[in-house]
Chain A
Amino acid sequence: MESHAAYKSRWLPWVLLSPTFIILLLFLYYPTLRTFELSLYRVAFLGLRKKFVGLANYKVLFTNPDYLHIFWNTAVFAFFVVMGSMAVGLALSVLANQKVSGWRIYRILLIWPYALSPAVAGVIFLFLFNEQSGIVNYLLKVTIGIAPGWLTQPALAMALIIFAAVWKNVGYNVVFYIAGLQNLPGEVLEAALIDGASPWQRFWKITFPLLSPMTFFLLIINTIYAFFETFPFVDLLTQGGPNGATNILIFNIYRDGFRFWKTGMAAAESVVLFIGVVILTVLQFRLGEGRIHYGG
């Protein structure tokens, strides 16, 4: 076969690929399968004893109001984080893409937050938004005389962790959007300019559709970020409080699994999260098909 032209031997490619496959098998596929299996058991802490219970864990997940609350929180959180970080990322990229003096500095400053680890970002936000001794409340008190309870009011606490998660990920979106903007075919925009299209029209009718492959890619990446990588913000800022108002699934999995030692429940939650993200990704591919313009 032609495709084997580079390698004389049939199995050499497999040998070369094997390290990757072994790592995937050991650290990804095997644990995933074990998680599916564990979710059907009631496990005494850390697997010391376990008993098959069928779908009982899932039944608790979908009937207990506390867990339903967590699902709702997760949906709200993920929606606003994805929308927020992509919209802000796009807006900033368009601005940073303009030829203004000092553009290099603007771009570096925009990308900077992404280089911080989420744990560091979480601690910074904790210092900023501490109700009694944070800088934000100090300034607010001096200027307009209010001191909101950022971490004690459920809605504010949720808004704060969304803000922190958006702030952290905007830089990533900016990098990709700027790259996308710079690769746009100049002649199309030029033609529009000559035809007298307003900047607003040029953006929504030409730039945005031409960026759609990038938007689609970022949509999936941001969705994964919102569901899986936002744990440190909740852990450091709110611990899921006040009264579970910021408890999102990824944090609760950790808490159930490693603090409350309910391994079976944590496994069932992982499976639900896994399936949820798979469904979302498939939906995004389905809905995206035909609407995305891959420029030639």
Chain B
Amino acid sequence: MKRLATILGLSVLMSFSFAAQKIQITFWHAFGGGRTAFIQRMVDDFNYTHPGIQVKAEYKGSYRDTLNAAILAAKQGNAPHIVQIFEVGSQMAIDSGIFVPIEDYVPASLKFQLDDYIKPVANYYRIKGKFNSIPWNSSNPILYYNKDIFKKAGLDPNNPPKTFSEVTKACEKIIASKAAPKCITWPLHSWFVEQWVAEQGALLANNENGRAARATDVYINSEAMKRIMKWWKGLYDKGYYAYTGKPEDWDGANQLFVSQQAAMEITSTSDVTFHQNAAYENGYHLGTGFLPVPDGIERNGTVVGGASLWLTKGHPQKEQEAALTFLLWFTNTENMVRWHKGTGYFPVLNTSVKVLDWQHWFTRNPAYKAAFDQLLQSKANRATQGALIGPFPEIRTIIENMVQEIFQGEDIAKALAKADAKADQALKDYNASVAK
């Protein structure tokens, strides 16, 4: 008995000392549900193949909660090594000063991986020519539509509307034929407005969308914005557009489309997998198309949405190197393929796309094709690069309130002017608060 206890004690001690030799890395992300498990499996694979490093992935709640938690932890000198931050938090992450510009630390032998990013993604995350973080989950808005309802309404099920006026015309037919109670839905979210601004080649903020220098003026009162709001308000007034009444209600919009209350939905490409499964379960045929754009403009492209992975400051060099090793492994060619297939987020490396092509993935899964083609056809310019604005979350709420105000009957020009003034004030306050 005594002997057994000794052996047990020794083995416990040994396993402790063994664990102590490993470099511990913490990784905070914002993916709940099935994606938490998916990430955990990938992390387990890494730990298995890298015996010297032990990565611990933790789900920290929403994007905002994750950024909050990371900054608070950093203030207490206890920052996680790797943090996932949403794209509109990029300016804030830079201003927080708790992260290192990652490109400076990538070893020369692995630099090739940074050059492998597909252009629209590199375009967004290269800030002043440098990757501050490693792009990870990227998405775009696309049009999902119900082919059965299209047929019932006498529309071509293989030819989804491509412009604003085509959407309106399709809606007239769908509602008149009573093929569905509502025509189209998307979450009342500023993200879509931002995309339509970019599609028109317009900017959302001065100083070249905040990319050349810190933005000091938000462009809400613009022609591009007027075109969007006029169309949207028209759809709403005629009862073509449906939403749940709650801003930023992604699940609510999906529910309207899946329950076949609406014939079309505009939402993120990261839901392709979800929608394919939902269509199968509910017995309708799903179609996907490009994001409809205003008439008479040349399609300029969309802005990459999603999040990237940031490395925090102030860790011993060994830990920092280990964290970087994990990051570059986690986003390498084969893992990006795996990530894309498991979630629907874009495979953001050129080599991953080649692998998928070679597997005939896109021909076998046409729903992913529209999503991906749209991304690849985006032109690289300041508009599609996306705006860098510090108080982006607040400006999004200002835009969403403005949309609801317009729905309630406020004059579009007046509502835009008011929102513009509010956004400028928010930006001014933010810029003053981070000024050194």
Contacts and interface: CB of A to CB of B under 8 A. Distances in A.
Binding between chains A and B: yes
B407 A241 contact: no
B432 interface: yes
Contact of A241 (B64, B92, B242, B404): B404
A273 to B, nearest CB: 20
Contact of A242 (B68, B71, B245, B256): B245
B255 interface: yes
A241 B246 contact: yes
A157 interface: yes
B248 A43 contact: no
A201 interface: no
Contacts of A47: 75
B391 A241 contact: no
Interface in B48-106: 64, 68, 71-72, 75, 92, 95-97
A139 to B, nearest CB: 16
Contacts of B402: 243
B256 A241 contact: no
A168 interface: no
Contact of B71 (A43, A48, A157): A48
Per DSSP, are chain B's interface residues mostly helix, strand or loop, or mixed?
helix
A72 interface: no
Given A45-B96, A48-B97, A131 B245 contact: yes
B267 to A, nearest CB: 16
Residue among A43, A51, A131, A243 with the highest chain B CB neighbour number at 10 A: A243
Interface in B410-436: 422, 426, 429, 432-434, 436
Interface in A249-296: 255, 258-262
A151 interface: yes
Nearest to A154: B408
Contacts, number: 96
Contacts of A132: 181-182, 242, 244, 256, 261-262
B261 A133 contact: yes
Interface string B239-270: 00011111110001001100101100000000
Interface in A140-156: 149-152, 154
Contacts of A45: 71, 92, 95-96, 433
Given A43-B433, A133-B256, A258 B246 contact: no
A43 B429 CA distance: 10
A127 B405 CA distance: 24
B405 A243 contact: yes
Interface in B4-61: none
A56 B144 CA distance: 48
Contacts of A261: 92, 391, 393
A197 to B, nearest CB: 49
Contacts of B422: 66
A42 B261 contact: no
A49 B433 contact: yes
Contact of A46 (B72, B181, B244, B408): B72
B394 interface: yes
A255 B398 CA distance: 13
Contacts of A51: 433
A152 B245 contact: yes
Interface in A14-44: 42-44
Contacts of A258: 64, 68
A243 B401 contact: yes
A31 B245 CA distance: 36
Contacts of B217: none
Interface of A: 42-49, 51, 66, 126, 130-133, 149-152, 154, 157, 237-239, 241-244, 255, 258-262
Interface of B: 64, 68, 71-72, 75, 92, 95-97, 181-182, 242-248, 252, 255-256, 259, 261-262, 391, 393-394, 397, 400-402, 404-405, 407-408, 422, 426, 429, 432-434, 436
11 contacts: A45-B96, A46-B72, A47-B75, A130-B255, A241-B400, A243-B401, A243-B404, A255-B397, A258-B64, A260-B394, A262-B429
